[in-house]
Structure 1
Amino acid sequence: MAHSLKAPFFSLPSELINNILTFLPLSDLLSVGLVNRALQEHSLQDTLYQPLVQANVPGSTLRKPEHSTWRELFKTHHPYWFIAKNKIWFADNAHTGKLVIARYNHRLNAIEAYAIVAERRHPAIQVWDAHPEAIIHSFHPRIQLDLNAATLHLDASTYAEVAGEQKDRLQGEMQMAGFTRVRSAAGLYTRLILTRPWPSERTYENTPVWPPLTIPSPVRTRTDSATQFRGASNRPAMLEELSTATFRIRNWMQFSPRIHTQNIHFGEQTTTWATIPEECYTPTRRKPWQGIWCGDYAGHGCEFLAIMQPDNPKPLPERAERAMRVCDRLGSDDSSDSWTTAPTESPNLDEETQARSSTASSDSHTNRQGSAPTSDSSSSRQLPSSEEDDSIYSGRIEAVKLTGDPNIPRGEYTFIAPDIGPKGLIRVARDNLFQGARIVRSLGHIAGAAFTDDDYIPSQLILISHDRLAQYWEAFGHVSFYQRVNIEEFTRIP
């Protein structure tokens, strides 16, 4: 048997054997190292770990660490590399949620995540010739990372601070560096907790899972726990049980032991975080509007949403389907060649839709108000359809909030354009503000405070460019604007 192990594989040059091992995933590479001493020596070659590290740092090419090997660097952050690799993470905080950008900081040798925020800036009023009564404000947000406080920070010192009964990285809670103050004073505490997937066959419409079912994801995890996820059953016992699409963060405040004899956690909160598959927000030639976008929601400020163009979309929500049927009965407005959007006085609406439209206060829908491009934005306008590749005008566009407000919370649809092709086309704009833009039928999601009495109403989605969209809420006389976010800009470390 010993002779058979030396031939023919071990007669190959070492360089060729190492090259073969580069094609193995980590689990197989570690298994190969257990076969015999010769393969163990090959499996420990530092060059084999460089691609494992690099695969988890998208958008940047790392240099060899000065004071450690590639293997040591990989081990330092294992199994948390998936956080940096997935880049985009959003939380299930009630109503508002939170969106962060995660990355590996080679200067600090740390995996970190910062909230992405946007400032609306001072708007300018504009007039749309086709609908001069519409309220329109310019929208050019300043989007940046909030570098004042990291949401997540993992470095070598973090992994030495494992809390809880289980002291391993999979089941323990990581006390994140930089979050704990001196023990004799009050402090804010933050711990990171790994998760395990919730079985898809046990996931139904009302199952409390994150990410929500509005976001395509092969992996979800539960969001409810009687023990605040302290039980071992909520966490992976082995790497095969680790969810690389979700994790949790536990926050609390703890006062000085001089005041309290027991370590009492005040305001403890556990949030679940999820990522969105990259293929769902990466634009392609056939799906140019996919991406992470920032929207103007007036009184609620700026919010972030994922705009997706699914190949096999799910059926429309029941209330959205009902709104579509109402629109089909109403038909088109012959005078403006637009899609009439349920004015409150319309006698053709069913009673329930009229009631929702008439009783909703303007404050309940301020998160629908938006802004228009300023006069210098003509370069971003959509070309007339005759000059475009018509193949991109097909299928559905749906937008899901990654952050939310008291009316429409995170994880919910904000608008859906069921068909941007010929069946959904209203017209190609010829007026001054949106000249050449394709205008298609869409459905906007509205609700009262605390997400009560939510419903969908007809609206018009204006495809200004691949980086800029507008939504005309005819019933409310407002235009909302959306601008694409360049995620890669925030993931690079100089």
Structure 2
Amino acid sequence: MDLASLPVEVLDEILSLVDGEDLAHVAQTCRSLYNCVNNEGLWRRLVRRHFDVESAEPYSGFHEMYSSLHQHNWLGHSLWYGDKPQFGSLVLSRYDPHSGTMELHEILCQHGPSRSRTLNGNRTVAIEQFAPRIGCAEFPVARLGPDAHYDDPRSLCFFNHDRALHTCIMRVQAMRGDRVHPSMALWPPLTLPAKDRMRSGRSSSPYPSYPYSPTGSRPGSRPSSRPSSRPGSQPGSRSHSPTGTGGSPTLSPAPSGPSSPRGRDLRDLGRDYFSRYRSVDSTTDGFRLRKWVSFSQSSMFGVAMGESVETFSRLDQRLIAPTPDMPWRGLWLGDYHDNGGQFVMFHQPNPTRLEAIKLTGDVHVPRGEYTFIVEDIKHKVPISYPEWPGAPVVQAHYQVAETNYINPRYLESQLILVSDDCVVHYRLGRELVTYLYRVDVDKLLEGAPGWRPLVVDM
């Protein structure tokens, strides 16, 4: 029995599980299967799967929309963190239904009004409360539409008129696991768990990671042993999947099939996909953004100033999704006093260990470094604070350093587990208490421009 002889309902159910390029190859086999694939219902399911939208506007249909944006759907609806020196950045990739393009928007944080009070019974300890607001920047940092092709760098450039800023997105290759070495300038660094690691756009890492040691050994000495649960300590990474460069995917009609009313609607998806789209061996979990300022709208004329290249890695949502055994996993926003709010990834490599890793950083402890580590989050310290009645307290160690990440070291601290969405960090060495709040990733991925408070009640 072949596919064409199956009942239409069964065949439609089978084809609904097939991705776009495979549908194109199915359509090339015979007229009967071509007519089955040339079905807006199938392409509507694909659009929902990849772009999470219900309407094909501004395109004439779901097939045209998928064909026009297929080469960009590797971006998906995701968060990405970058290796900007010291500070890093967090961006959101999403489909914009108004322009019909894939866009990258920077995620920003406003510290908001703050209140300071002292810890009960100890007036030398300051409690810093803050009401942060997070938002998606109104103007995109990059935009990819039907005319953007990875074999034509000019088509990948985007010009922000208000900031006179040019940006160009570039695909990158993942490092093979057997070639990864701690001395390399990698992004993400080995402190952050990741499926793929890329060579950073910088020739060398100006801020080599300082390994955590419970004994608090200084950088000049070698720790007696590395922590067994150091994330990403094994150099292995998944093999990079072939993806790449090429043109918009379209269906190839059966040899005697009807011609398309549009010039690109039903033409040569399979041939185009294999000859162009896979012509560069790139990872789907990373990219680079080249930025420069020019007061000429054309990228070919004028003087380019302040050129920079930033490498981005996808923030795997499975690593920040809490589970019953690892409830503290997630994306958090912490108060770093004079350095403002910073995004922190709470990573639990096992049910007892908690590693807080900066996705955005500052001039003291940069992005990609540990901000604090809890060796055993299930071991409660017999201490209570009236400000947070009943909240368990665990022992932690936090990292401090001088400007430009000089002389990093770990000091003792306490983590007060106020609720599933709020923890308090008591830095014993600095007599400072700060808050960290969980970020609702689903709401963040909605990507609506504007500001919204992270904490409603203060």
Relative to the length of structure 2, the TM-score reads: 0.75
Out of 131-140 and 297-306, give the one that drifted further.
131-140
Higher normalized strand content (fraction of residues): 2
CA pair 242-47 structure 1, distance change in 2 beyond 3 A? farther
* Match of residue 85 from structure 2: 94
Give the structure with the higher percent helix: 1
Q: How does 1:219-230 map to 2 (within 5 A)?
A: 219-224=196-201
2:15 match:
21
AA aligned opposite 2:390: G
* Aligned mates of 2:173, 2:43 — CA distance in 1: 26
Matches within 5 A, 1:177-196: 177-179=158-160, 187-196=164-173
Secondary structure at 2:76 match in 1: helix
SS of 1:216 mapped into structure 2 = coil
Output the aligned Cα RMSD: 3.0
User: Deviation at 1:122?
Assistant: 2.7
Give ranges in structure 1 of 5+ residues lacking alignment: 1-6, 227-233, 312-393
Shift of 1:265: 2.9
2:216 is matched with none
Percent identity for Structure 1 against Structure 2: 27
The one-letter code of the counterpart of 2:354 is I
SS in structure 2 of the partner of residue 450 of structure 1? coil
Structure 2: distance between partners of 1:64 and 1:139: 41
Q: Is the 8 A contact 1:90 1:402 kept in 2?
A: yes
Q: Give ranges in structure 2 of 5+ residues lacking alignment.
A: 204-242, 246-275, 449-458
* CA distance in structure 2 between the aligned counterparts of 1:116 and 1:255, rounded to whole angstroms: 25
Q: 1:455 aligns with which of 409, 420, 431?
A: 409
Q: Report deviation, 1:491.
A: 2.5
Match among 437, 440, 452 for residue 391 of structure 2: 437
How far did residue 187 of structure 1 move?
A: 4.4
Match of 1:398 among 355, 360, 364: 355
What letter is aligned with 1:253? Answer: V
CA distance in 1, matches of 2:393, 2:399: 18
Q: Quick one: structure 1 residues 54 and 474, their matched pair in 2 at CA, closer, same or farther if it must change by over 3 Å? A: same
Residues paired across the two proteins, number: 379
The 1:129–1:271 alpha-carbon spacing in structure 2 relative to 1, beyond 3 Å, is: same
Give the distance between the partners of 1:124 and 1:10, measured in 2 at CA: 69
Query: How far is the alpha carbon of 1:459 from its aligned partner?
Result: 1.0
Structure with the greater alpha carbon radius of gyration: 1
Measured after TM superposition, the shift of residue 66 of structure 1 is 6.3
Contact 1:308 1:399 in 2 (8 A): yes
Q: 1:71 to 1:458 in 2, by over 3 A?
A: same
After superposition, the Cα gap between the structure-2 partners of 1:120 and 1:253, relative to the gap in structure 1 and judged at 3 Å, is: closer
CA shift for structure 1 position 263: 5.4
Task: Work out which of the residue numbers 61, 68, 73 in structure 2 matches 1:69.
Answer: 61
After superposition, where does 1:241-256 map in structure 2 within 5 Å? 241-255=281-295
The 1-side partners of 2:113 and 2:355 are apart by 29
Query: Structure 1 residue 80 and structure 2 residue 64: aligned?
Result: no
4+ residue segments displaced more than 4 Å: 234-238, 255-258, 261-264
Does residue 1:289 correspond to 2:244, yes or no? no
1:46 to 37, 40, 64: 40
Q: How does 1:28-427 map to 2 (within 5 A)?
A: 28-57=22-51, 61-65=53-57, 67-85=59-77, 87-129=78-120, 131-147=122-138, 149-156=139-146, 159-160=147-148, 166-167=151-152, 172=153, 174-179=155-160, 187-224=164-201, 238-239=277-278, 241-255=281-295, 264-311=303-350, 394-421=351-378, 424-427=379-382
Contact 1:215 1:276 in 2 (8 A): no
Say if 2:136 and 2:447, in contact at 8 Å, map to a contact too: no
Deviations 1:274-302 (A, max 9, x none): 11111111123332221111111111111
Amino acid at match of 1:276: L
The 1:69–1:420 alpha-carbon spacing in structure 2 relative to 1, beyond 3 Å, is same
Alpha-carbon distance, 1:130 to partner:
5.6
**Pairwise CA distance, 1:264:** 4.6
3-state secondary structure, aligned to 1:74: helix
Give the letter aligned to residue 195 of structure 1.
Answer: V
